[in-house]
Chain A
Amino acid sequence: MPDTSLLEQLSAERAALATRLVPSIATVFVGRRRTVSAIRWRGPYLITAAEPLAGTEDVLWQSPLGLGAAADAGPQRAEVVAADLTTDVAVIRTGGDTAIPTEASAVLGARDAVASEAHGKPSGREVLRLGETVAIVGCDARGPLLRWSTVSAAGGAWRSRRGGQIAQRLEFAAALDARLEGALIADAAGRIAAMRVTGPFARSLGIPAETIERVLGTVEQHGYLPRPYLGLRLQTLWLDPATASRLGRRAGRIPVITGIDADSPAAGAGLEPGDLIETIDEQEVDGVDSVAGALMGTSPGASLVLGLRRGGASERRTVTVADRPRARH
């Protein structure tokens, strides 16, 4: 007979898990008063949600207090390397290594064993199941924050409205708390599986570790995040049923080119204003959003085959995706 109740054991286990996870989080100051949470991912990188950081170049960040001298030194400056609005992943590069301070790692035995297979990568697993209990752990200027939650939706890969490819659909039964934007989501074994962000209709979404790694990998490779670009301005044209069926289309809408940027891939491929875009890589597209989605799923250098309708006839044009021109400064 155990001399403690099941409730006491559960409570102790939960507290132990929280203690193990706290060293993996940080807080990032956005604006004068607001903070969001961040995950100490690997190497010099912190990961947080993109939307609150978009447009900023550098931020102040801080570890939860009590994790040793370095953490207690107060807020430190770090560079926002990329804020990917398509996946809501922001990459922050700190001055040093964000690896967990040695004093803290003593309590991290179990977690290190899980992470050891992927060097430095905080997560040994990438898929959560519906109904699993998870810990959402973040941090504000005064210290760690935690919420227990449940995986309330888990599904396959999906594409965000802005065209970002997300490895797994994850939703959590958790009330909105702006301070937990960018918080880590760990399973009952303490493995970091995702980052918490706010989705449409104020839902709590998880961005899986796999997607975070993909964005971080691209940023490491290029030093910044390339944005796929064709140089096309589009509008969506609505078709009446007769015209739609005459054009052999399932959708009642079709994107029409309304402008072409000079010196762009679209100009080079001979696209013209007035061309209707029927397909991209033989997949029917039904509006500006679906073209954006198809484009965001590629990388600069990739080729797309556009099925066009021009002057009543269909034709194919191949266009090479470029990197969106960036300001020179």
Chain B
Amino acid sequence: MHVIVTASNAHTRQRLRAKVLDSGLPCDEDLASPRLLEEKVALLREQDSQAIVVVAVEDDAVLARQALGLGLPVMIWPTAQKRGERMAPSREQRRLTAREREILAQVAAGTSNKGIARSLRISPNTVKFHMTTLFAKLGVATRAEAIAAAARSGELSL
């Protein structure tokens, strides 16, 4: 049996992985997105006919649905939050808006805040506001980190 743990949030994924191992099941890998899951399953199927089981968390239904769509058995793990434990932002909360992606692409091209404001016909303060939410969503403090983080999560093209 090949067990794949899925959760879009890295922290959740780590905890889920620990819980799965605690329960005595093997845990062969953890994946973050439906697309990665699809790729991985395609690779595994290409390789052999090992049974694949996907473990997902209940508040991350997209991944579970994806696994079911691929015809895989899915185990849903409850995600009761311990009191006082901070909820990490969900994938939906972290996803960039179209406008934010547009702004980030301009940042990567080296356009100034004023230049971005002119081309999008918005005020420079609105650009700064977008940058602040962008940084928060990506969990970064600088432009260079924002570009790298967005490239890594597939939000910004190279």
Contacts and interface: CB of A to CB of B under 8 A. Distances in A.
A326 B157 contact: no
Contacts, number: 122
Contact of B36 (A229, A246, A256, A261): A256
Interface in B21-77: 28-33, 35-36, 39-40, 43-44, 46-47
Interface stretch (B78-86, B88-96, B107-115): B107-115
B111 A327 contact: yes
Nearest to A276: B39
B109 A325 contact: yes
Interface residues of B, number: 44
A55 B130 CA distance: 13
Contact of B148 (A243, A246, A292): A292
Contacts of A55: 107, 112-113, 131, 143
A234 B158 contact: yes
A327 B152 contact: no
B57 to A, nearest CB: 19
A274 B120 CA distance: 32
B123 to A, nearest CB: 14
Nearest to A161: B148
A149 B144 CA distance: 27
B152 A288 contact: yes
Contacts of A261: 157
Q: Which of A83, A85, A274, A291 has the most CB of B within 10 A?
A: A85
B158 A229 contact: yes
B155 A233 contact: yes
A54 B120 CA distance: 18
A316 to B, nearest CB: 19
Nearest to A295: B158
A65 B7 CA distance: 58
A51 B108 contact: no
B157 A264 contact: yes
Interface in B118-155: 118-120, 131, 142-144, 147-148, 151-155
B154 A240 contact: no
B154 A326 contact: no
Nearest to A85: B144
Contacts of B110: 82-84, 224-225, 227, 326
B106 interface: yes
Nearest to B148: A162
Contacts of B20: none
A209 B153 CA distance: 34
A29 interface: no
A259 interface: yes
A231 interface: yes
Q: Which of A51, A80, A230, A288 has the most CB of B within 10 A?
A: A288
B16 interface: no
Given A227-B110, A238-B29, A233 B154 contact: yes
Contacts of A243: 43-44, 47
Contact of B143 (A54, A288, A329): A54
Contacts of A283: none
17 contacts: A55-B107, A84-B110, A85-B144, A88-B144, A161-B144, A161-B148, A230-B157, A231-B157, A233-B158, A234-B151, A235-B152, A240-B28, A258-B154, A289-B152, A324-B108, A326-B111, A327-B106
Interface of A: 51, 54-57, 80, 82-86, 88, 161-162, 224-225, 227, 229-240, 242-243, 246, 256, 258-259, 261, 264, 274, 276, 287-289, 291-292, 295, 312, 324-329
Given A237-B36, A238-B29, A243-B44, 5 more contacts: A85-B144, A238-B31, A289-B152, A292-B158, A328-B119
